[in-house]
Every structure is written in structure tokens, then in C-alpha cells.
């Protein structure tokens, strides 16, 4: 069941972001809203989803696809759910404006989540701390542990839910995690209907 008021979902966009890391969660939350309104046409949408970037200039993804942000850091509304996707994150990690916005948006959000190497950005911005159990893409586990030795990085889970902090492994794990967040925030039935509409085999923990 959708909640009232509508929950705002902000997805960070940055140059060299992995296309499906961003688009996967975007598709899950927008499809969930569509399915919710199909079931209850008079109800408000479950989620309002937007991409937020440093400026309103087009963001070029890792594979060359461009996306137009909905908001810049300067005018982005408060997010209930913050999604930080992965990709090639080296430049974003060196951008103080990006790290400051992540930290600020996370403080106001109910849930902050990362996909793949987005965990590096959460770590660099100070959002992840030693008490959190986290994960990232299998190929980047060792690097995350080396760069941030105080963090408890686990290999194996597709996603790890720590309440206000949720991290996920690879690209499709970000879709699994997003469906899990839909279930948390708006009910398991809507999450299942969303996965069915997307024709996606939702992988959940045993």
C-alpha cells in the first residue's frame, strides 16, 4: 500500500556513473508508483523519483549515454530515500561538492542506499561508519577494505539492510535492493507486483 505523503527518492547522477546502477533503481521506484496508482487511482503516487547532479548540465554515463538531471545540488528537495549508484567513482570521490551533498542529503533521509561502488562515495562522505555492515561489487571488495579499513565489508550478500543504511553488490543486486526498499516502505505486495511488471526475477535472502 502506498503511503501518504508521497516519498521522495533522489538518485545521484555523476559522470561515469554505471547506467544500470542509476536506471535500475529509477525503474523500480517509478514502476512501483505506476502499479500503486493502477491499483488505487485516487491515491497519491508512492514515490517521486528524481536524479540529482552537481549542476543541471547533462551527465555522461560510463557507457556514453547522457542523462539530464532533474535537480542540482543547489535546489534539490529533501529526499526520504537517497540512492548512490556506482560506476567509475574516482572523480566523484575527489569532488568536495559531491561528497558534501551526499552527507547532507543522507542526514535528512530515512534511508541511504548504495549500488555497487556507490559504497565508496558513502564511505568517502562519512556516511558509512565502523558499526555498519556493508557490501559492494565482488571485484571491489578488497579495494574498499584497503581504502576504508575501519569498515566492516562483507562479501557474498546481494544487499545488506542496516536500517537507515542499505548497501548492495552488483548491478542487478541494486534492482533487488530497490524492490526490497519498496517492500519496506510500501508493502511486499506492491514490490512483488512491481517485479512482475518488470518481468524481473526478484532475488531475496533465504
- What's the Cα-to-Cα distance from 162 to each of 12, 50, 112, rounded to whole Å? 20, 24, 10
Distance between CA atoms of 19 and 51, rounded to whole angstroms?
12
**Predicted local distance difference test score (pLDDT) of residue 115:** 97
Q: What is the pTM of this model?
A: 0.96
**pLDDT one-digit tens code per residue, 97-113:** 999 999 999 999 999 99
**Residue pair 118/124 in contact by the 8 Å Cβ criterion:** no
Q: State the chain's mean pLDDT as an integer.
A: 94
**Predicted local distance difference test score (pLDDT) of residue 4:** 67
Distance between CA atoms of 119 and 124, rounded to whole angstroms?
9
Own/partner pairs, 32-36, CB within 8 angstroms, 24+ separation: 32/182, 32/186, 32/190, 32/191, 32/194, 33/2, 34/197, 35/190, 35/193, 35/194, 35/197, 36/1, 36/2, 36/186, 36/190
Q: What is the largest CA-CA distance in the chain?
A: 51
Instruction: Please name every residue paired with 9 in a beta bridge, in sequence order, or none if there are none.
Output: 49, 81
**pLDDT one-digit tens code per residue, 115-167:** 999 999 999 999 999 999 999 999 999 999 999 999 999 999 999 999 999 99
**pLDDT one-digit tens code per residue, 72-92:** 999 999 999 999 999 999 999
DSSP letter for each residue of 48-99: EEEEEESSSSPEEPTTS-EE--SEETTTPPPPSEEEE--BS-HHHHT-HHHH
37 vs 3 pLDDT, higher one: 37
Amino acid at each position: 500500500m502506498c503511503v501518504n505523503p508521497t516519498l521522495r527518492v533522489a538518485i545521484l547522477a555523476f559522470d561515469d556513473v554505471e547506467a544500470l546502477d542509476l536506471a535500475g533503481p529509477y525503474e523500480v521506484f517509478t514502476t512501483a508508483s505506476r502499479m500503486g496508482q493502477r491499483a488505487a487511482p485516487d491515491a497519491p503516487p508512492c514515490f517521486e523519483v528524481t536524479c540529482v547532479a552537481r549542476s543541471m548540465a547533462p551527465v555522461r554515463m560510463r557507457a556514453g549515454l547522457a542523462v539530464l538531471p532533474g535537480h542540482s545540488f543547489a535546489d534539490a528537495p529533501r529526499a526520504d530515500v537517497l540512492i548512490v549508484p556506482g560506476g567509475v567513482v574516482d572523480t566523484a570521490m575527489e569532488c568536495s561538492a559531491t561528497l558534501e551533498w551526499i552527507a547532507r542529503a543522507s542526514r535528512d533521509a530515512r534511508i541511504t542506499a548504495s549500488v555497487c561502488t556507490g559504497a565508496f562515495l558513502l564511505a568517502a562522505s562519512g556516511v558509512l561508519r565502523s558499526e555498519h555492515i556493508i557490501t559492494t561489487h565482488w571485484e571491489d571488495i578488497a579495494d574498499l577494505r584497503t581504502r576504508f579499513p575501519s569498515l566492516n565489508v562483507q562479501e557474498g550478500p546481494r544487499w545488506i539492510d542496516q536500517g537507515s543504511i542499505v548497501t548492495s553488490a552488483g548491478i542487478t543486486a541494486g534492482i533487488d535492493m530497490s524492490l526490497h526498499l519498496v517492500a519496506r516502505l510500501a508493502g511486499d505486495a506492491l514490490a512483488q507486483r512491481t517485479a512482475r511488471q518488470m518481468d524481473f526475477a526478484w532475488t531475496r535472502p533465504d
